């Protein structure tokens, strides 16, 4: 490590430990403003500190964005900073944030603290003296005299006491959409906003996607796999809007769409890896039923947050059952990340490094909602064949506060608090049920905003923010007015996820080609620029999408289900070879599915894939109406790539056929060349990309 990074490391460590001097803070601020490597080191050490201290840290995942690839936590955080630093405005904000390190509020003077004196930071906390004998955070403390706990009337009020405090509310404004607005109105607003931004930046959009390109993208995005051949348009140039409208309507109501959403959210909620005591199948059934019935997204979130009951019978309980260890810190972080789009774990051990208005007490006030949730064993029925022992999730009803430790080792106590509303310590309302109510009443509509951003990223490849689940006050939003309008419409629709998908899919912006032109190559969000959405950004399929698409292609070629074991159990084993769980509290895992060696070996040399391709090629030749080389290649290309073969591909196919025919004869050569071409198509970047 170079001398300046070594010096920065020492300063950062002193800052994290809360012992840095004002002069050292100034030195650190100067280093951060002058060298991006110091910023990377700061985020890395901050993340490592969180993992070592609390067993939970950052998780930036575009998961299926629902975005699939998950780098390590430190790498994710570093990548986030690098991307944000790519925005000129963000560079300025980061510089200001780091320059203000020396101005962060100091910890209160320990000599002036008593047990019932409220903390001066207005976050509804009380400080327990460090020499108190009543301080173990994992054991109950004697009841505090809550009469001395001052709650600021301007910023907080008790849960159930009336409307939410005005300081947390957005200023009133005229609704963008009239009551009873149509899907076409929202799609038109999307296009107006995107086109205005493109015009302001002098960037031209890509042309409209061809019928085949759009059909393939729609199936992959909504249904999770490539389309069957009979779903492709008769002509690649047929672009009629009504046909696209009909296709979108069909897909958002299809069982494939419900299955895909249940798969994605099961992975988001509990990870890909099997976890002891968690009934994955029950959670999946709960989600599948909810998406099939098109239940309000807020209703689903409420049930996941407040669920009680037995894990095998009440599938929603499995979400929190997977995250209740370690003082429920994983439950706090994952709930905030998935449903609010906020990385609250950043303030688990200290105030937020970039958004100074976010304090450590905010994390623990949110954590307090989960402190009374607990697992209880259930006696398994005699003769049960289930491999998963059921568990009961319940809430204790007991008074009390939540205690946490500051950076300098002092104890603080907080009440459950969210969006300016505080749950009294003596309340008999189950705290998770109260949180579910507060999420629905949140004037900032964060649940809706987070879901809009995640669905947008699922369709376009990137969201309105650099990290789809890091939408705090420090985040740069590419199209703020569009994000707020879609959030408003989503809430007005009663959190109708089906309509949200229709709005985005029906827009001209999403129906453009993914191919960049000379006029929009500057629109490159994967290189760190602000996304303009001049086109749909191509990205890799998730492992599950690859598996299901291979299954579909092979089935189409053979006209029957292949003998290879392409079932759900086989699917889980095949996908798991790409997942590398870290074993942390938040189900972190790396997904090595990026076109590298692991993926290439699994696809090119996997015995199941080879067997399936061989069988499908043989079946195709046996059942085809014509065995002419051009006709066979056409069927292979449509089944795998959803398009007709190019002239170059035809020439390669014919040249290879002539070579093998001279050596072994046409009857032997034709199946081999068909198999080779199928294999080549399946391993092409064109097949593996959503575009």
On whether residue 196 sits in a domain, the answer given is no
Asked, for residue 463, whether it belongs to a domain, the answer is no
How far, in Å, CA of 580 to CA of 392, rounded? 29
Q: What pLDDT is attached to residue 325?
A: 84
582: which DSSP letter?
-
What separation in angstroms does the CA of 554 have from each of 140, 563, 620, 637, 640? 60, 11, 10, 12, 8
Lowest pLDDT segment from 184-198, 247-261, 416-430, 490-504: 416-430
- Name residue 118's beta-bridge partners: 126
Query: What is the spatial order of strands in the sheet that 391-395 belongs to?
Result: 309-310, 391-395, 373-377
Residues 437 and 552 in one domain: no
Contact 249, 505 (CB under 8 A): no
Is there a domain that residue 473 lies in?
Answer: no
What burial letters (b/e) apply to 162-188, b meaning 16+ CB within 10 Å?
eebbeebeeeeeeebeeeeeebeebbe
Lowest mean pLDDT among 131-135, 341-345, 440-444, 469-473: 131-135
- Residue 386's pLDDT is 61
**Mean pLDDT over all residues of the chain?**
77
The owner of tokens 């740069």 is 476
Integer Cα distance of 515 and 209 in angstroms = 9
**DSSP H stretches of helix in 473-523:** 480-492, 497-506
What's the pLDDT at 126?
A: 37
pLDDT of residue 356: 52
At 228-261, the pLDDT tens digits run 999 998 765 555 545 899 999 999 999 999 999 9
Structure tokens at 51: 């993992």
The secondary structure of 249-265, three-state, reads HHHHCCHHHHHHHHHHH
User: What would the two tokens of residue 124 be?
Assistant: 């509804």
Residue 419 sits in the same domain as residue 548: no
Helix (H, G, I), strand (E, B) or coil at 392: strand
Structure confidence by residue, pLDDT tens digits, 622-660? 888 788 999 999 999 999 999 999 999 999 999 999 999
Q: Is the pLDDT of residue 350 over 70?
A: no
d(CA 247, CA 239): 12
Is the model more confident about 179 or about 173? Answer: 179
Cα separation of 603 and 615, whole Å? 16
Tell me: do 432 and 288 sit in the same domain: yes
Query: In the prediction, which pLDDT does 486 show?
Result: 98
In a domain, 176, yes or no: no
Query: Quick check: is 589 in a domain?
Result: yes
Q: Average the pLDDT over 530-556 and give the result.
A: 92
53 against 129, higher pLDDT: 53
**Residues 430 and 554 placed together within one structural domain of the fold:** no
Looking at 384, 411, 441, the residue that finishes a domain is 441
The highest-confidence range among 170-179, 186-195, 369-378, by mean pLDDT, is 186-195
**Above 50 in pLDDT, residue 352?**
no
pLDDT at 50: 52
Residues 422 and 552 in one domain: no
Task: Say how far residue 308 (Cα) sits from the centre of its chain.
Answer: 25
What would the mean pLDDT of 382-391 be, rounded to a whole number?
Answer: 69
Contact predicate 128/409, CB 8 Å: no
Number of domains in the chain: 3
- Report residue 682 as tokens: 């399946």
| Cβ-Cβ contacts under 8 Å for 627 (sequence gap 6 or more) | 621, 670
Instruction: Give the burial class of 151: count Cβ atoms within 10 A of its Cβ; 0-12 exposed, 13-18 middle, 19 or more buried.
Output: middle
**What's the distance, CA 556 to chain centroid?**
32
**Would you place residue 223 in the very low, low, confident or very high pLDDT band (cuts 50, 70, 90)?**
very high
Given pLDDT bands bounded at 50, 70 and 90, which one contains residue 173? low
How sure is the predictor about 329, in pLDDT bands with cuts at 50, 70 and 90?
confident
pLDDT tens, position by position, 504-524: 999 999 999 999 999 999 999
Given 103, 129, 147, which residue is the final one in a domain?
103
- The reply to whether 385 and 264 lie within a common domain is yes
Residue 249 located in a structural domain: no
Question: What pLDDT was estimated at residue 626?
Answer: 80
Report yes or no on 352 lying in a domain: yes
pLDDT confidence of residue 600? 58
Q: Give me the domain span that covers residue 356.
A: 257-441
Q: Is 304 within the bounds of a domain?
A: yes
pLDDT at 128: 37
What would the two tokens of residue 380 be? 């398994």
CA distance 295 to 116: 45
Identify the band that residue 488 occupies on the pLDDT scale cut at 50, 70 and 90. Answer: very high
Q: What is the pLDDT of residues 95-108, one digit of tens each?
A: 333 333 333 333 33
Task: Find out whether 591 and 543 touch, Cβ atoms under 8 Å.
Answer: yes
Residues 670 and 551 in one domain: yes
Could you give the angle at the alpha carbon of 20 between the alpha carbons of 17 and 23, nearest 5°?
Answer: 165
Of 399, 419, 441, the residue at which a domain comes to its end is: 441
Q: 552-581, pLDDT tens digit by residue?
A: 998 898 875 443 444 577 777 777 777 776
Do residues 222 and 258 make contact, with C-beta atoms less than 8 angstroms apart? no
Q: How far is CA 269 from the centre of its chain?
A: 10
Question: Rg (Cα) of the chain, in Å, rounded?
Answer: 28
As a whole number of angstroms, the distance between CA 673 and CA 213 comes to 26
**Helical axes 446-460 vs 431-441, angle rounded to 10°:** 70
User: Which pLDDT band, with edges at 50, 70 and 90, does 383 fall under?
Assistant: low
Rounded CA-CA distance 140/400 in Å is: 8
pLDDT tens digits, 14-33 = 777 666 777 777 777 777 66
């Amino acid at each position: 490590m170079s001398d300046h990074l070594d010096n920065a490391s020492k300063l950062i460590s002193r800052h994290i430990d809360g012992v840095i001097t004002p002069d050292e803070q100034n030195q650190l601020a100067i280093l951060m403003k002058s060298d991006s490597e110091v910023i990377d080191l700061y985020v890395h050490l901050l993340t490592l500190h969180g993992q070592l201290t609390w067993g939970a840290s950052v998780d930036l995942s575009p998961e299926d964005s629902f975005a699939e690839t998950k780098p390590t936590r430190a790498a994710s955080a570093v990548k986030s900073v690098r991307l944000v630093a790519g925005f000129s405005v963000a560079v300025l904000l980061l510089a200001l944030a780091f320059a203000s390190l020396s101005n962060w509020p100091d910890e209160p003077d320990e000599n002036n603290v008593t047990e019932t004196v409220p903390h001066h930071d207005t976050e509804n906390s009380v400080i327990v003296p460090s020499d108190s004998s009543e301080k173990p955070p994992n054991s109950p403390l004697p009841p505090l005299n809550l009469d001395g706990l001052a709650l600021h009337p301007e910023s907080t009020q008790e849960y159930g006491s009336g409307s939410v405090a005005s300081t947390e509310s957005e200023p009133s404004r005229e609704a963008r959409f009239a009551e009873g607005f149509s899907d076409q109105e929202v799609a038109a607003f999307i296009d107006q906003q995107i086109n205005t931004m493109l015009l302001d930046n002098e960037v031209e959009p890509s042309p409209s996607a061809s019928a085949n390109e759009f059909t393939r993208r729609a199936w992959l995005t909504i249904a999770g796999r490539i389309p069957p051949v009979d779903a492709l348009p008769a002509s690649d140039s047929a672009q009629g809007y009504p046909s696209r409208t009909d296709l979108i309507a069909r897909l958002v109501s299809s069982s494939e769409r419900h299955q895909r959403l249940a798969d994605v959210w099961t992975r988001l909620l509990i990870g890909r890896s099997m976890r002891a005591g968690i009934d994955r199948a029950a959670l999946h059934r709960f989600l599948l039923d909810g998406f099939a019935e098109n239940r309000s997204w807020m209703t689903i979130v409420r049930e996941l947050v407040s669920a009680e009951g037995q894990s095998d019978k009440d599938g929603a309980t499995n979400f929190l059952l997977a995250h209740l260890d370690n003082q429920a810190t994983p439950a706090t972080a994952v709930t905030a990340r998935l449903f609010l789009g906020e990385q609250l774990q950043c303030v688990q051990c200290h105030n937020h490094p970039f958004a100074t208005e976010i304090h450590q007490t905010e994390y623990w006030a949110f954590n307090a909602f989960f402190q009374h949730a607990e697992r209880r064993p259930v006696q398994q029925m005699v003769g049960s064949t289930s491999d998963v022992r059921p568990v009961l999730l319940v809430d204790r009803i007991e008074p009390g506060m939540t205690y946490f430790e500051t950076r300098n080792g002092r104890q603080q106590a907080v009440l459950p608090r969210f969006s300016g509303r505080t749950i009294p310590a003596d309340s008999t309302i189950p705290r998770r049920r109260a949180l579910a109510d507060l999420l629905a009443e949140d004037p900032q509509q964060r649940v809706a905003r987070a879901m809009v951003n995640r669905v947008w990223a699922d369709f376009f490849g990137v969201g309105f923010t650099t990290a789809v689940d890091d939408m705090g006050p420090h985040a740069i939003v590419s199209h703020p007015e569009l994000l707020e309008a879609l959030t408003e419409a989503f809430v007005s629709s009663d959190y109708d996820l089906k309509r949200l998908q229709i709005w985005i899919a029906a827009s001209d912006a999403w129906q453009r080609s993914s191919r960049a032109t000379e006029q929009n190559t500057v629109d490159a969000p994967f290189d760190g620029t602000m996304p303009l959405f001049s086109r749909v950004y191509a990205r890799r399929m998730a492992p599950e999408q690859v598996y299901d698409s291979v299954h579909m292609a092979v089935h189409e070629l053979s006209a029957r289900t292949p003998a290879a074991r392409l079932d759900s159990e086989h699917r889980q084993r095949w996908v798991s070879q790409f997942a590398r769980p870290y074993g942390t509290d938040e189900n972190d895992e790396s997904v090595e599915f990026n076109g590298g060696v692991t993926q290439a070996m699994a696809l090119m040399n996997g015995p199941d894939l080879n067997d399936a391709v061989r069988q499908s090629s043989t079946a195709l030749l046996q059942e085809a109406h014509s065995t002419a080389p051009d006709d066979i290649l056409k069927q292979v290309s449509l089944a795998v790539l959803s398009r007709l073969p190019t002239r170059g591909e035809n020439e390669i196919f014919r040249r290879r056929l002539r070579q093998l025919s001279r050596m072994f004869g046409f009857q032997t050569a034709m199946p081999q060349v068909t198999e080779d071409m199928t294999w080549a198509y399946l391993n092409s970047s064109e097949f593996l990309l959503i575009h």
